[in-house]
């Protein structure tokens, strides 16, 4: 078997493990407390919250992220990878794995999260977030130690992984990163989305990927993305991934 095929087999298996498909991991109910029956199609679409698996983004968003990481490597598009809103760390683990199987040692994966859940809404500054309740769900708050442990379970915890702990408004504007090839946002709220775009978009290389998870699922996230693109006169075509996630490439029509 050729090395490219071996890489593919490994990454296919990794995605199944990260999303819990390989062991039919049941989902949490929407309160984050009880369990619901496992449904493979729902899990593949990233439309539930796994009880134990390390990512909730589903197979199509996972595969798109993998291909984005591979594309920027293959095409020498400069920059690190970052996810803003990492939950249990699964998407970042996948990005680190792509670097490892490609033998890339000059890029880092940044894991940006409060590691204590979503921020309470600030309706005075971001009226669209008024009434949002996600900050009350304990299952969405995963500690830094737990996420680090998840990286270690896959053999991906090393000095190419950098953790940014805190609210995005505090950590992202001063984060010591210079260039990004993949910017993946998964903050759901208007605040979390617009803070991340405002702090990081200018660091995305031409040809790099901007991925917005939750665009189709959360009106607040969609509004923040639309408003930011309009304010910056961004006209690059935005592609749907699976009804929830979208992406575009900077500087590519």
Helix H or strand E segment including 249: strand 246-249
**What residue ranges do the domains of the chain occupy?**
56-249
Give residue-wise pLDDT tens across range 138-160.
999 999 999 999 999 999 999 99
Provide the pLDDT for residue 1. 74
Q: Which two tokens stand for residue 133?
A: 């309740």
The pTM of the whole model exceeds 0.85: yes
Task: Give the C-alpha distances (Å, rounded to integers) separating 237 from 48, 65, 66, 86, 209.
Answer: 28, 17, 20, 26, 12
Token pair 């990454």 in the structure block, residue: 11
Residue 174: CB atoms within 10 A of its CB come to: 8
For residue 42, report the phi and psi dihedrals to the nearest 5 degrees.
-65, -45
End-to-end CA distance of the chain: 37
| DSSP-based three-state secondary structure for 206 | strand
Give residue-wise pLDDT tens across range 56-113.
999 999 999 999 999 999 999 999 999 999 999 999 999 999 999 999 999 999 999 9
Round to whole Å and give the CA distance between 166 and 153. 24
CATH fold of 56-249, please? Rossmann fold (3.40.50)
Report how far Cα 157 is from the mean position of its chain's Cα atoms.
Answer: 17
């Amino acid at each position: 078997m050729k090395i490219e095929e071996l890489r593919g087999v490994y990454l296919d298996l990794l995605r199944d493990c990260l999303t819990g498909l390989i062991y039919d991991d049941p989902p949490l109910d929407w309160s984050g407390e009880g369990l619901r029956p496992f449904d493979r199609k729902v899990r593949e679409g990233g439309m539930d919250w796994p009880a134990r698996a390390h990512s909730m983004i589903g197979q199509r968003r996972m595969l798109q992220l993998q291909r984005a990481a591979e594309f920027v490597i293959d095409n020498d598009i400069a920059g690190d990878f970052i996810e803003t809103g990492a939950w249990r760390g699964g998407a970042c683990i996948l990005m680190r794995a792509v670097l490892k199987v490609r033998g890339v040692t000059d890029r880092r994966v940044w894991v940006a999260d409060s590691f204590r859940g979503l921020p309470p809404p600030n309706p005075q500054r971001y009226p669209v977030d008024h009434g949002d309740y996600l900050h009350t769900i304990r299952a969405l708050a995963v500690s830094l130690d737990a996420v680090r442990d998840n990286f270690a379970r896959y053999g991906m915890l090393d000095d190419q992984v950098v953790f940014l702990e805190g609210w995005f408004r505090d950590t992202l504007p001063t984060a010591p990163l210079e260039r990004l090839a993949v910017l993946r946002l998964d903050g759901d709220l208007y605040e979390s989305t617009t803070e991340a775009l405002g702090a990081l978009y200018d660091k995305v290389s031409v040809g790099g990927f901007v991925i917005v998870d939750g665009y189709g699922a959360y009106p607040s996230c969609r509004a923040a993305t639309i408003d930011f693109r309009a304010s910056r006169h961004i006209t690059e075509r935005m592609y749907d991934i699976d009804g929830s996630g979208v992406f575009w490439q900077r500087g590519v029509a």
